[in-house]
Structure formats: C-alpha cells, structure tokens
Chain A
Amino acid sequence: GAVVSQHPSWVICKSGTSVKIECRSLDFQATTMFWYRQFPKQSLMLMATSNEGSKATYEQGVEKDKFLINHASLTLSTLTVTSAHPEDSSFYICSATRLGSTSNQPQHFGDGTRLSIL
C-alpha cells in the first residue's frame, strides 16, 4: 500500500493563532509531498511542492511567509499556517509520491485537515 497520514484531522482555533499540520508517509519514502487547499464546492488548488531537504516551491499567489513548509525527512512534511485568520479556513490536504517515482506514478493523499478559524 501507500498510506499517507495527516494530523490533525480537525482544528478550530482563534484568529491570530499559528497552526501546524503534519503529513507522514507511513509505509514508503516520499520524494515529494504536495500541499493543497480546497474551499467548499471548489476543486483542489496546489499551494506548494515540498522536497526533502530543500526549500518548498510555492504556487503563484501563495504567501510563503504565511504558509511555512518544512520537509525534514523522507516521511514527514509539515505545513504551518502562521497568524491564521478566518479567510484561511479551508480543507488542507497533503499528498506524496514515492521515492524514485517516475512521472507516471500517482499521488497518494492524506485524509485532510479541516481548519476553522474563529
């Protein structure tokens, strides 16, 4: 299998709080992890691509200083939403591809984190 675990699954916190979300590949080593955001009734939008040991590549319009990504090992990437505000409330989903994957290999998704900022 290719299991990706995401934690926490649900976060409710006050405006101004920083929130850390973890994404772990449980049974494989992940070359690359991806972070997506999904607003209600919309599709997944890629926020950033995270490679182990290097800086993340952010998509246009995504603030790198607000959404801090750390990919410290081949099995763990973290996304920290700094000073979160109500407009950051969304469904955040990570995915991972196996070490050594060719372009044909699919991404395996975590269960997502629902973030609600009051």
Chain B
Amino acid sequence: QKEVEQNSGPLSVPEGAIASLNCTYSDRGSQSFFWYRQYSGKSPELIMSIYSNGDKEDGRFTAQLNQASQYVSLLIRDSQPSDSATYLCAVKGSAGTGFQKLVFGTGTRLLVSP
C-alpha cells in the first residue's frame, strides 16, 4: 500500500465548477497535511495546509481533513483555466519517522475547460 494515494486523473471540470481532489494516507499518526500545486515544468507551490479535523477555507480553496478515515481533500470553487495543474497531496510523518519529511502522493492532474 502506498503511503499517500491520489487518483492521477485527469479530472476535467468546466470553468466555474467546483473541483474536488482527494487523498488518502496510511500513517495514522500523521498530523500535518499539505496541498501543493505544480504547473508543468515548475516546482510545487503551497496552496493549503491543514492540521486538525474539519474544514479550512482560504479564498476559493477549502481543505478538508478526516483523520478517522485517513482522508484529505481539496475543493476549488469557481474553477478557472489557470487552476489547471497537478495537485500534490503531501503528508508529514508522525514523530519517530523523521517527522519533518514530506511524503507526496503522485498527484492529480486537473483540467479546467473554458
């Protein structure tokens, strides 16, 4: 079982729609979760971080964490063509596993059509 799993996509949504990106993780002790956006040929940029169960909103982005189900999601409202990119879910390991290390999922490619 992979440590962090994402559907590779592509996830296609029309402009203005809500894009929902999902991620599951295997280390139940993980406490820090991040969503990065990566455009083709570029390095990742941080979109959201979440550390406790529930929702966290920042502009058009909402991160959701359910630690009981080991599930993290990212919602993008009013999707724009400029949101088209690969979205990487990253999880920091629990204490004793090199807690500062990030484990990345393979990423979900999002395509927003005008």
Q: Which A residues are in CB contact (< 8 Å) with B102?
A: 34, 46, 95, 107
Q: Do A44 and B46 form a contact, CB below 8 Å, given A32-B100, A49-B98?
A: no
The count of A-to-B residue pairs whose CB atoms sit within 8 angstroms is 52
**Min CB gap B86→A, angstroms:** 9
CA distance A45 to B44 in the complex (A): 13
Q: Which B residues are in CB contact (< 8 Å) with A104?
A: 31-32, 49, 51
Q: Does A43 contact B (CB under 8 A)?
A: yes
Q: Which A residues are in CB contact (< 8 Å) with B49?
A: 104, 106
Main secondary structure, interface of A, reads strand
CA distance A110 to B88 in the complex (A): 16
Residues 68-90 of B, flagged 1 when their CB comes within 8 A of A and 0 if not, give 00000000000000000000100
Nearest residue, chain A, Cβ from B49: A106
CA distance A96 to B94 in the complex (A): 19
How many chain A residues touch B (CB < 8 A): the figure is 25
Q: Does A54 contact B (CB under 8 A)?
A: no
Interface residues in B26-42 (C-beta closer than 8 Å to A): 31-32, 34, 36, 41-42
B42 touches A111 (CB 8 A): yes
A97 touches B100 (CB 8 A): yes
Q: Which A residues are in CB contact (< 8 Å) with B32?
A: 103-104
Chain B residues at the A interface, C-beta cutoff of 8 Å: 31-32, 34, 36, 41-46, 49, 51, 88, 92, 95, 98-107
Chain A residues at the B interface, C-beta cutoff of 8 Å: 6, 32, 34, 42-46, 49, 57, 91, 93, 95, 97, 101, 103-104, 106-112, 114
Instruction: List 22 contacting pairs A-B, 8 Å CB cutoff, sorted by A.
Output: A32-B100, A34-B102, A43-B107, A44-B44, A46-B103, A91-B41, A97-B100, A101-B100, A103-B32, A103-B92, A103-B95, A103-B99, A104-B31, A104-B51, A106-B49, A108-B46, A109-B36, A109-B43, A110-B43, A112-B42, A112-B43, A114-B41
